[in-house]
Amino acid sequence: MASHVEPGSVDELSRRRSSVSTGMSGAYRLFTVAGIDVRVHVSWIVIFALVTWSLATNYFPSVIRGASDVELWVLGATAAILLFASVLLHELAHSLVARARGMEARSITLFIFGGVSSLAGEPRRPSTEFLVAIVGPLTSFVIAVIALGVAVFVTNARPIEAIASYLAVINGLLGTFNLIPGFPLDGGRVLRSIVWQVTRDARRATEIATTVGRVVAWGFMLWGFWRVLNNDVFGGIWIAAIGWFLQSAASAALDQAVADARLRRLRVGDVFRPDPTGVAPDVPLAELVERYMLPGARRSLPVVDGRRVVGIVTLSDVQSVPPERRATTTVGEVMGGRDGLVTVTPTTPLRRAIEALGSGDYEQVPVVDGDELVGLLTRADVVRQIQMREALDGARS
Ligand SMILES: [Zn+2]
């Protein structure tokens, strides 16, 4: 999350597993850079309007004498667009370095608190985490230095000088704010990578970085509260909101780390329900419903040709055919998976299987042992298993 608002910007590299939705809802794609979708969330419009308003009514009138209202608003909007272009460059730096180090960069979303780079896959080494995190603030500092150079050397155009000065200050703040060593800020990721490198324990590193992150977040909330008490109601609420956002992001990161550690030990064989029932492609849908789906309350079945799994048929495949045609339509005509069926084996690590479920947005994948069908792995099985293990862990502590 990289956000950029007055006191700084929050930026989070969201590295969720692909089974969890990677984007924010309510975001719209603007354009694509180097294969990365650049999107804006509806909440971004609020911050864009606030920044433009604040620049047009406070900053520019104080540094440029005698400008008309129209000129002030055009300058305000221009500077606001350049600010968000700076945030975008900061995020692009994270995404491009991540990609160069073997991770997948999917999208960048600008929202009310800044920007989010959505990356797939976990950094496998501390050095990757370090580089991906540090390059964002470094980019902001480089932009600040360039803007400062423009402000110093352009002396005959007051508006350009004023915009460049603003960008120099704001990018300096952006880089500095993001270096605060609390997860999910970039500085927190840098801290995590260093602890990880030293202790060789990624879980421990996450715990330390998120704990510092929560302290930082509570600091922001208290500071915001104090500002409210001192009559800066708007600024105080804003700072507290950033604190609240950081706090929930740090908590989510810790939960994710715990869930990942739990998942790492599991394989498909620990989770799926063995059930070698398959249906042949030439079976009519009416028979599929009567003989296979209703008796076991199965919502989906693997389709087998001899012993080989050739597809998967689901309740919604059946529903896509009108009832009067279900006696004459066969499973083979409606089944999914004909072009590239994803299967897993009982020894597949559960994390890989979850990625497989997420890759095609599948509700289930067939489990095969050699050539032989042994059952189905469903999203519901995975969720139930994780919830049960969580409940048992909770009881122990
Ligand atoms: Zn960043």
Structure confidence at residue 227 (pLDDT): 93
Whether residue 140 is found in the same domain as residue 255: yes
**pLDDT for position 125:** 87
Quick one: 222 and 335 in the same domain?
no
Whole-prediction pTM value? 0.67
Host H or E run for residue 244 = helix 233-264
Both 364 and 247 in one domain: the answer is: no
- Residues whose beta carbons lie less than 5 angstroms from ion ligand 1: 2, 11, 136, 178, 186
Same domain, 117 and 162: yes
Q: Rounded CA gap, 214 and 144, in Å?
A: 29
Q: What is the pLDDT along the chain (397 residues), one digit of tens a residue?
A: 332 222 233 443 333 333 233 456 778 888 888 888 899 988 888 888 988 998 998 888 888 888 888 989 999 999 999 999 999 999 999 999 999 988 888 888 888 888 888 887 677 889 999 999 999 999 999 999 999 999 999 878 888 999 999 999 999 999 999 998 888 889 999 999 999 999 988 888 888 988 999 999 999 999 999 999 998 888 889 889 889 988 888 888 888 777 777 777 788 888 888 887 889 889 999 998 998 888 878 888 888 887 788 888 888 888 888 989 998 999 988 887 766 678 888 888 887 888 777 766 677 888 888 878 888 888 888 877 777 777 776 544 3
Distance of alpha carbon 197 from alpha carbon 180, whole angstroms: 19
Instruction: Tell me the CA–centroid distance for residue 263 and ligand 1, in Å.
Output: 28
CA of 14 to the centre of ligand 1 (A): 11
Asked whether residue 186 falls in the same domain as residue 138, the answer is yes
Find the 26 Cα to ligand 1 centroid distance in Å.
22
Cβ atoms < 10 Å from Cβ of 46: 12
pLDDT score at 146: 96
Ligand 1 center to 64 CA (angstroms): 32
Same structural domain, 236 and 159 = yes
Residues spanned by the domain of 306: 268-396
Tell me: do 260 and 314 sit in the same domain. Answer: no
Give 122 Cα–ligand 1 centroid separation in angstroms: 16
Distance of alpha carbon 375 from alpha carbon 364, whole angstroms: 10
Cα 61 to middle of ligand 1, angstroms: 31
Q: What count of other Cβ atoms lies within 10 Å of the Cβ of residue 337?
A: 19
How far apart CA 390 and CA 383 sit, in angstroms, is 10
Q: Are residues 322 and 345 in the same domain?
A: yes
* Confidence at residue 2, expressed as pLDDT on a 0 to 100 scale: 30
Q: What confidence score (pLDDT) does residue 276 get?
A: 79
Specify whether 39 is located in the same domain as 113.
yes
| Token digits of residue 82 | 């350049």
CA 266 – ligand 1 centroid, Å: 33
Distance 115 CA to ligand 1 centre (A): 8
Instruction: State the total domains in the chain.
Output: 2
Catalytic residue positions? 91
Question: Which residues, listed in sequence order, are joined to residue 373 by a DSSP beta bridge?
Answer: 368
Are 289 and 310 in a shared domain? Answer: yes
Q: Are 107 and 37 in contact (CB under 8 A)?
A: yes
Single residue among 240, 264, 288 that ends a domain in this structure: 264
Centre of ligand 1 to C-alpha 20, Å, is 22
